[in-house]
Amino acid sequence: MRFVVCIKQVPDAANVRFDPEKGTLIREGVEAMINPFDLNAIEAAVQLKEQLGGEVVCITMGPPQAESALRDALALGVDSAVLLSDRAFAGADTLATTRTLAAGIKKLGGADIVFCGKQAIDGDTAQVGPGLAARLGLNYATCISELEFIKDTNCLKVKRAWEEGYDILEIKLPALVTVLTCINTPRVPSLKGKLKAKKANIPVWGAKDLGLDTSLVGLSGSPTQVVTTCVPKFEAKKEMLEGDVEEKVDTLLNRLKEAGIL
Amino acid sequence: MLKIDKDKCTGCGECEEVCAFGAISIKDDVAEIDHDTCTLCGTCVDTCPSGALEIESKKEEQKILDKDNWRGVWVIAEFRSGRLFPVTFELLGCARKLADKLDVPLSAVLIGNNVKDFASELIKYGADQIYIVDHPNLAQFLEIPYTNVLVELIKRYKPEIILAGATAQGRSYIPAVATILETGLTADCTELDVRIEDRALLQTRPAFGGNLLATIVCPNHRPQMATVRPHVMKALEPDDSREGEIIEVKIDESLFETSTKLLESTVEEQTGVDLANADIIITAGRGMESKENLSLVEELAKLLDGAVGATRAVTDAGWLSERHQIGQTGKTVSPKLYVGCGVSGAIQHIVGMKGSDIIVAINKDPDAPIFDVSTYGIVGDVKEVLPKLIEKIKKEKGL
């Protein structure tokens, strides 16, 4: 079996803050890392490989420095990794991203199961997983919290969450799943894994290697365009309540009564 | 590629500061771009006070030939467990305005089994036309049949704009639909408008964990597709006198086929009050300091018949389950009263609650960002303020 995990290197968004006075982002101390949801995708793939045999290949589309995310993945039990990198890939929206990833997976010789994280924390779109499944013509399920391989039917039995409950689905391989964080606890890299990751040779495939027309990838191949960005402004009628605790609480209760809430 | 006009660049450094990827640095008073790091997000272009930055696209203005053949605004109704999800009505409320501005009909798409009776609901909430695909094989939501049906409808009727809920269901198959149609899809929009000149859908969504709002267009492809977060748009008041047309669409049954089997579908008992529909939400932040102290938040919520919310720090610490989480990665809420207890007000949280009518913040730190968005602020220790608040409310209620 071949398991392919798609990962993304993201800025550590939890530490990106904005300066409301200047209206700018504060990046200090923000490091690039593997998208946290993708760690669960890696773990799910590695666990399944340990159970069934086969290989786990990790791919990412990104700038040359995204290689470090792949090395981190190798330290977590992934067998090999490929970096899809080309200037022409820059500025891709989710549609163009699925085209590049699909070409990468095809060049690998396809996959029995493709694993993705639920979404990436920088874009939060959750669109690449299902889009990639559609492009590769795979059966798929999103937001999986449990997963089991059923040998007799060559199916994955998965638990898929939705707002008010869950579904149990049986999906035939080849398939793609996007996983929730509750599906497993990602392992910590082993010393052996780290050594292997350090030495590993990570091929870099560009548009030419993938046989992709550069007008169909990256910014050129993206139907959506960002026209403006702005820092969100919040307007509030701010009243700081004064006095000791007793007085503050009394004022608050009065205000809430005036508003008809209490 | 991001291009810089070195004559216009003053080396002010604004671009360096806004770049979330660290791709710009100022060297010898001129901005220098690291093209390997640059993602072409365009933030710097908008920020540059001297207009020195430009994203150069190799793309010819590839106008799609039949752009003018695509007309009308569609809302994809979400039908599940025998009912229409509220997000459907919110989408209709928002889409009605877009359709009126573009002077086109607003249509809703209803897919399922025995769903015809629900068409009148959609008309009451603003739809002019309902396309119904009703078949026993569509009784349960499964990605592939629903994707096939929607793709077929879109190809047949060519709407210019399609809105769907950014729900578990919408997020699972709408991206597949957009990919098959090779068109753009913008996730989790919080604001939508149209630009009349070119009939472009202006799609605004939070980016970088809510630190920025990005407005996105899809100029050369049709349809223009967006998913919208639940509880962001307002539904219209239902109007029983509205009239609409119901169109039953016959679709080749082979499109309903899938090898995926639904073995079980379970609706879980909702514990506690439903956050999304609560009028009052008392939210616990990291400043509650311990799981034990959450009893104060729970007591206040119970007293006011409200729900308990949480910031990500609180759910990450395991003090409350993820179901309570409000914010960018959690739920969006808009109660009449939101009380933040020890909530610092990280932007990721604020984007999920800023629509609340009255926001009360209680925090030790007078500089906590939550005070910037609050209606009433109390600087103080939650462990002193909350017991006092509870005591006084109890007294008022004669408890």
Q: Using the beta-carbon criterion (under 8 Å), do A135 and B213 form an inter-chain contact?
A: no
Return the residue in A15, A127, A172 with the most chain B beta carbons within 10 A, the one to mutate for interface testing. Answer: A127
Q: Using the beta-carbon criterion (under 8 Å), do B168 and A253 form an inter-chain contact?
A: no
Examine residue A238 and state whether it is found in any structural domain, yes or no.
no
Mean pLDDT, residues B169-190 taken together: 96
Nearest Cα neighbor of B125 from B234, B248, B249 is B234
Say what the pLDDT of residue B211 is: 67
Q: For chain B, what is the mean pLDDT?
A: 90
Most confident range (mean pLDDT) of A2-6, A186-190, B79-83, B364-368 is A2-6
Q: Using the beta-carbon criterion (under 8 Å), do B17 and A65 form an inter-chain contact?
A: no
In this chain, the answer to whether the domains covering B67-256 and B275-397 adopt an identical fold is yes
Return the residue in B39, B262, B328, B348 with the most chain A beta carbons within 10 A, the one to mutate for interface testing. Answer: B39
Residue A248 Cα distances to A116, B71, B360, B382, B389, angstroms: 50, 56, 12, 12, 9
The domain covering B275-397 belongs, at the CATH homologous superfamily level, to: TPP-binding domain (3.40.50.1220)
Distance, CA of B224 to CA of B184 (rounded, Å): 6
What is the interface size between A and B, counted as CB pairs within 8 Å? 294
Instruction: Identify the residue whose tokens are 């009433």.
Output: B376
- pLDDT tops 90 at residue B293: yes
Q: Nearest by CB to A228, which of B46, B55, B360? A: B46
Look up the CATH number of the domain holding residue A111: 3.40.50.620
Q: Using the beta-carbon criterion (under 8 Å), do B373 and A130 form an inter-chain contact?
A: no
Question: Using an 8 Å Cβ cutoff, are A193 and A74 in contact?
Answer: yes
Q: What CATH fold (topology level) applies to the domain B2-60?
A: Alpha-Beta Plaits (3.30.70)
Say what the pLDDT of residue B206 is: 81
Say what the pLDDT of residue A179 is: 96
Q: Give B351's contacts in chain A (Cβ within 8 Å).
A: 232
Examine residue A246 and state whether it is found in any structural domain, yes or no.
no
Give residue A107's identity as a one-letter amino acid code: K
Q: Pairing mode, if any, of strands B376-379 and B358-363?
A: parallel
10 Å CB burial of residue B114 (0-12, 13-18, 19+) is: exposed
Distance, CA of B169 to CA of B261 (rounded, Å): 16
Q: Give B182's contacts in chain A (Cβ within 8 Å).
A: 95, 223
The nearest alpha carbon in chain A to B359 belongs to: A236
Examine residue A39 and state whether it is found in any structural domain, yes or no.
yes
- pLDDT tops 80 at residue B208: no
Q: Give A18's contacts in chain B (Cβ within 8 Å).
A: 211-212, 347
Say what the pLDDT of residue A235 is: 65
Q: Which of A103-107, B63-67, B135-139 has the lowest mean pLDDT?
A: B63-67
CATH of B67-256, one of 3.10.450.50, 3.40.50.150, 3.40.50.620, 3.30.565.10: 3.40.50.620
Q: Nearest by CB to B266, which of A129, A165, A248? A: A165
| Tens digit of each residue's pLDDT (9 = 90 or more) over B112-136 | 999 999 999 999 999 999 999 999 9
Say what the pLDDT of residue B372 is: 87
Please give the model's pTM, rounded to 2 decimal places.
0.83
10 Å CB burial of residue B271 (0-12, 13-18, 19+) is: exposed
Distance, CA of A225 to CA of A228 (rounded, Å): 9
Distance, CA of B78 to CA of A110 (rounded, Å): 34
pLDDT bucket at B232, cuts 50 / 70 / 90: confident
Structural domains in chain A (count): 1
Give residue B191's identity as a one-letter amino acid code: E
pLDDT bucket at B42, cuts 50 / 70 / 90: confident
Q: What is the DSSP string of A116-127?
A: EES--TTT----
Q: Give A163's contacts in chain B (Cβ within 8 Å).
A: 167-168
List chain B domain ranges: 2-60, 67-256, 275-397
Residue numbers in chain A where pLDDT is lower than 50: 22-23
Say what the pLDDT of residue B81 is: 84
Q: Give A158's contacts in chain B (Cβ within 8 Å).
A: none
Examine residue A239 and state whether it is found in any structural domain, yes or no.
no
Examine residue A116 and state whether it is found in any structural domain, yes or no.
yes
List alpha helices for chain B, DSSP H. Answer: 14-18, 43-47, 86-102, 119-124, 143-157, 168-181, 294-303, 312-316, 347-353, 370-373, 382-396
Helix (H) or strand (E) holding B186: strand B185-189
Say what the pLDDT of residue A163 is: 83
Q: Residue A70's domain spans which residues?
A: 2-221
Distance, CA of B217 to CA of A126 (rounded, Å): 19
Tokens encoding B202: 């202006």
- pLDDT tops 70 at residue B62: no
% residues pLDDT > 70 (chain B): 95
- pLDDT tops 60 at residue B250: yes
Q: Give A11's contacts in chain B (Cβ within 8 Å).
A: 20-21, 208
The nearest alpha carbon in chain A to B267 belongs to: A165
Examine residue A107 and state whether it is found in any structural domain, yes or no.
yes
The nearest alpha carbon in chain A to B144 belongs to: A139
